[in-house]
C-alpha cells in the first residue's frame, strides 16, 4: 500500500476540479509498445543514486523515452515515466552505449545498452506521521483509501500535521512522484466528508487516473442526508448550472448561475449533479448523488442553493439541523452528527495499467448510517389515511 498526491493550499475542499491535479506530463498520447521480448536488468544501487543498466532487445527499437518506459514497467521500484526520463536526460543522467543522451526522443535501433542514474528523491518539507489509514484497494500502481470524516487530505493553513499525506509518507518513505519525495493524491475530499479517495503510486498511474478525471469517465457516487426532499422519491433530478466562488464569502461557492456555453466561461464553470431521493421522513431526505463534474463543494452548493442544505453543514446553511426537526428517532440521531452528512461511497474507473475496471464501495460510517436507517425505517411505516370505521 503506497500513495501519491498533489500539493494543495486549501485542505477543506470537496471533490476538486481536475485542473488542480498535478500532471507531470501533459502529453497523454503515450505510445503503447508490445512488451514481448523486452527485458531489463537492474544493477545494485549506490548510496547517492540508483543505477539502472538496461539492454535494448534487437527487436525493441523506438524512441528512447518510450523504450525506457517499457523496459522499466515490470518492476514498480524501477518504473520511469516518459516525463521522468525526459528530466533525467536534461540532467545528463542517461547514456546510450556510453554516450550521454541529449534528447528523450532519440531513436534507438535495438541492441543498445542504456545506463541511467536516478538520483534520490528531492527532500520534502512534509513530515512523515503515523496517521491511521484504511485501505479498500491496493496494488503497485494505486490504492484507494476510505477516509474518515475529520481527516484532512493534505497539509495547509491550520492543518500542518495529521493528514492523509503525512500518513502516506510514513508508510511509504521511498515513494516519489516526478522525482520528488511526496505522495500524489489524484483528487481530494473535504475534511468533513468521508469516503473513497484515489491515490496514485507512480507517475504513469497519476497521469492515467488524471486523464480519466479530465475525461469525466470516473463514476463517483455519494450518499447524503439533507433538509427536505430535492425531488419525488425515486426520481432523478439533474442539476446543471454554472459554478464559481461566492462574492460575500471566499470559503463558499455559488451555483445560482446559468450553465456556461461549454465547460468554462471566465470564472464560471459547468457543474452537473444528478440527485435521486431514496427516502424522506420527518423533514430529512436520504439522497443518492452522482457527480458528472468535480467542482469544489459541488454537492453541498447544489443542494443548498435549491433549499436543501446537507444536515449540519454550517457553511451552506445546514448548521443546527436537528433544531429544525420534529421530535422523534430521526432528530435523535441527527443531534449526534457533528459534520456535514456526505459520504463518497462508490467509485468505478479503469486501472491505468491493466485497463480493467475497478469498482469499489465503502459503507457510510455509523454517524451517517444511523440517520439513513432512521429515515428509511420511518418512511417505510404506513401512515393512517383517515378515520377507522368500526
Residues forming the active site: 190
How many CB atoms lie under 10 A from the CB of residue 147? Answer: 24
Contact 125, 160 (CB under 8 A): no
| 180 DSSP assignment | B
Cα distance between residue 304 and residue 255, in whole Å: 9
Which three cell numbers, joined as nine digits, stand for 143?
490504492
* HSE-up (13 A, CA, CB side) for residue 303: 36
Q: What share of the chain is helix, strand, coil (3-state, %, to 5)?
A: 20, 30, 50
Task: List the helix and strand counts (H, then E) for the chain.
Answer: 7, 19
Burial of 207 (0-12, 13-18, 19+ CB in 10 A): buried
Cα distance between residue 115 and residue 49, in whole Å: 12
Report DSSP letters for 64-96, one per residue. HHHHHHHHTTTSGGG---HHHHHHHHHTT-EEE
Contact 101, 94 (CB under 8 A): yes
Please give the distance of CA 156 from its chain centroid, rounded to a whole number: 17
φ and ψ of 225, to 5 deg: -125, 130
Which three cell numbers, joined as nine digits, stand for 378?
420511518
Contact 15, 2 (CB under 8 A): no
Amino acid at each position: 500500500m503506497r500513495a501519491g498526491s498533489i500539493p494543495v493550499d486549501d485542505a477543506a475542499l470537496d471533490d476538486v476540479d481536475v485542473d488542480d491535479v498535478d500532471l507531470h506530463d501533459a502529453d497523454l498520447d503515450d505510445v503503447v509498445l508490445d512488451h514481448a521480448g523486452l527485458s531489463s536488468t537492474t544493477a545494485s544501487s549506490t548510496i547517492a543514486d540508483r543505477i539502472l543498466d538496461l539492454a535494448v532487445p534487437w527487436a525493441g527499437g523506438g524512441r528512447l523515452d518510450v523504450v525506457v518506459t517499457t523496459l522499466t514497467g515490470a518492476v514498480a521500484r524501477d518504473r520511469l515515466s516518459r516525463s521522468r526520463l525526459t528530466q533525467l536526460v536534461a540532467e545528463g543522467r542517461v547514456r546510450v552505449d556510453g554516450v550521454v543522451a541529449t534528447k528523450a526522443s532519440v531513436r534507438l535501433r535495438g541492441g543498445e545498452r542504456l545506463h541511467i542514474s536516478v538520483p534520490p528523491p528531492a527532500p520534502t518539507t512534509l513530515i512523515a506521521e503515523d496517521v491511521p489509514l484504511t485501505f479498500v484497494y491496493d496494488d503497485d500502481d494505486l490504492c484507494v483509501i476510505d477516509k474518515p470524516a475529520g481527516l484532512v487530505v493534505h497539509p495547509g493553513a491550520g492543518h500542518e500535521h495529521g493528514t492523509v499525506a503525512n500518513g502516506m509518507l510514513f508508510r511509504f518513505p521511498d515513494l516519489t512522484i516526478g522525482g520528488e519525495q511526496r505522495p500524489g493524491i489524484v483528487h481530494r475530499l473535504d475534511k468533513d466528508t468521508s469516503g473513497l479517495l484515489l491515490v496514485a503510486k507512480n507517475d504513469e498511474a497519476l497521469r492515467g487516473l488524471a486523464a480519466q478525471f479530465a475525461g469525466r469517465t470516473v463514476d463517483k457516487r455519494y450518499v447524503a442526508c439533507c433538509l427536505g426532499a430535492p425531488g419525488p422519491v425515486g426520481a432523478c433530478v439533474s442539476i446543471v448550472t454554472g459554478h464559481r466562488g461566492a462574492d460575500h464569502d471566499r470559503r463558499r461557492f455559488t451555483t445560482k448561475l446559468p450553465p456556461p456555453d461549454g465547460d468554462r466561461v471566465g470564472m464560471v464553470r459547468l457543474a452537473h449533479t444528478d440527485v435521486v431521493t431514496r427516502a424522506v421522513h420527518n423533514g430529512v431526505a436520504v439522497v443518492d448523488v452522482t457527480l458528472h463534474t468535480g467542482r469544489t463543494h459541488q454537492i453541498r452548493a447544489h443542494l443548498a442553493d435549491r433549499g436543501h442544505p446537507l444536515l449540519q453543514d454550517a457553511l451552506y446553511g445546514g448548521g443546527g439541523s436537528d433544531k429544525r426537526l420534529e421530535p422523534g428517532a430521526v432528530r435523535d440521531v441527527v443531534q449526534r452528527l457533528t459534520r456535514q452528512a456526505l459520504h463518497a461511497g462508490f467509485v468505478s474507473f479503469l486501472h491505468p495499467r491493466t485497463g480493467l475496471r475497478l469498482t469499489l464501495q465503502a459503507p457510510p460510517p455509523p454517524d451517517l448510517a444511523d440517520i439513513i436507517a432512521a429515515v428509511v425505517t420511518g418512511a417505510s411505516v404506513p401512515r393512517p389515511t383517515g378515520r377507522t370505521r368500526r
